[in-house]
Structure formats: C-alpha cells, structure tokens
C-alpha cells in the first residue's frame, strides 16, 4: 500500500499541477520571436539616437481609476462662486491654508498646504474650470482631470463636479474631501460674507 499509494499520490499531484499550469496560461499572450526581435530593434534605435524614436515610450505603471460626479447647490451668484475657485485670497479663506494660484490656462495651483496641486487647462469665465489635479499621496505624476461647471439657477448656482482618473483606492477619500473641505467650507465662507457684506 505504501509504495503503490505514494505512486498514485504523485501521479494525482502531477496531473493537478499540469491542470493548474494549463488553466493559468489560458488567455495569456506569450512573447513570440517576432515580438522579441521588434523590441530589440526599438531598443537599438533608442540607444543609437533618442530623437529617432518613432513612437512615444509609455513610462510608469497603469493604475485602475474611477470617475466621480458630484453636484452641489450654493446660495450665491455664479460669478461669486467662480471667483472663490480663481481668486487666491478666497481660496485661502475656504481652505484655511496658504495657496499658490495662477488662474489662467497653463497656470499652476497648490492648496491645502501643498496636499493638492495641479494646473488649469481651461477657464471659461463664470462657466467652467478644467484642471489637472493631484493629491500629494497619489502615484508620482498621476493626475485626475477635474471639471467644474457653474450652472445658474433661480437665486442659486449649481456646481457640477466631473472628475476622471481618480485612483480607485482614493475614491471615497476624494468624495469626502470635496464634500467637507470644499463644498461645506465654501458654504461657510458664503454665509460669513453675506453676514459681513
């Protein structure tokens, strides 16, 4: 039993390992000799002269991302809400921290003690702001695209936030930050200015 059983167990384990290997490699694209030759040619071209590269080389690691959409109503005119996002003193008031702000296309911004930074890519006065946006703890050089649309309603402004490229692991944190650190703080600032105004 001992010798015959050992052989049977080894045979069963061998079959099991073959099945695992087969299942693991199903759908996997393995490199071919043609692909290896193509990679070698590209590497040679790059090493000879980096200016001769025919296609851009992707750097970094692809990370899974999500898109967010949030809307919020503010009891203020569209012009005032737009200014809160584009005037340095107003950004510093709602963020309660120093800010760097160049509110023009290609201009840089930094707020919340450097935890948020990016670049303005589009500004349509009182209508829309589009930014490359990143949090300090995100993978280096990873930016989300944040679009703020200002929609006037009766005596209010609806702010529509569309955000694409948020790392999946940061989705809930991003929602929380926009709700608490932006929307609620801006509403508090608007109440103060209406009381003092």
Query: What average pLDDT score do residues 13-25 get?
Result: 71
Q: For residue 119, is pLDDT > 50?
A: yes
pLDDT tens-place string over residues 155-191: 899 999 999 999 999 999 999 999 999 999 999 989 8
Residues 88 and 98 sit within 8 Å (Cβ to Cβ): no
Q: For residue 46, is pLDDT > 50?
A: no
From the candidate CATH numbers 3.30.530.20, 1.10.357.10, 3.40.50.300, 3.40.50.150, the one assigned to the domain spanning 65-195: 3.30.530.20
Mean pLDDT, the chain, whole residue set: 82
Joined together, the tokens standing for residue 170 give 């940061």
* Residue extents of the structural domains in the chain: 65-195
Query: What average pLDDT score do residues 136-152 get?
Result: 93
Strand order in the sheet with 116-124: 65-74, 156-167, 144-153, 128-135, 116-124, 108-111, 100-101
Can you give the pTM of this predicted structure? 0.68
User: Would you state the pLDDT for residue 21?
Assistant: 67
User: Would you state the pLDDT for residue 60?
Assistant: 59
User: Would you state the pLDDT for residue 157?
Assistant: 96
Lowest mean pLDDT among 45-49, 149-153, 183-187, 191-195: 45-49
% of residues, the chain, pLDDT over 90:
59
**DSSP-derived 3-state class of residue 107:** coil
pLDDT tens-place string over residues 64-103: 999 999 999 999 999 999 999 999 999 999 999 999 999 9
Of 119, 123, 115, 122, nearest in space to 132 by CA: 119
Q: For residue 32, is pLDDT > 60?
A: no
Query: What average pLDDT score do residues 108-134 get?
Result: 95
């Amino acid at each position: 039993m001992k010798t015959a059983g050992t052989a049977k167990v080894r045979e069963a384990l061998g079959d099991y390992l073959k099945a695992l290997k087969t299942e693991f490699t199903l759908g996997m694209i393995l490199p071919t000799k043609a692909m290896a030759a193509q990679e070698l040619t590209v590497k040679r071209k790059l090493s000879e002269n980096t200016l001769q590269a025919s296609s851009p080389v992707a750097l970094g690691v692809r990370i899974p991302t999500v898109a967010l959409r949030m809307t919020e109503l503010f009891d203020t005119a569209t012009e005032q809400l737009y200014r809160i996002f584009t005037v340095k003193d107003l950004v510093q008031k709602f963020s309660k921290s120093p800010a760097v702000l160049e509110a023009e296309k290609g201009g840089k911004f930094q707020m919340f003690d450097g935890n948020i930074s990016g670049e303005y890519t589009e500004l349509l006065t009182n209508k829309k702001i589009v930014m490359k946006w990143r949090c300090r703890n995100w993978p280096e050089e990873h930016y989300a695209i944040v679009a703020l649309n200002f929609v006037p309603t009766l005596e209010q402004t609806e702010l529509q936030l569309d955000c694409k490229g948020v790392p999946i692991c940061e989705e809930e944190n991003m929602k929380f930050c926009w709700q608490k650190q932006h929307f609620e703080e801006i509403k508090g600032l608007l109440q103060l200015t209406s009381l003092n105004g």
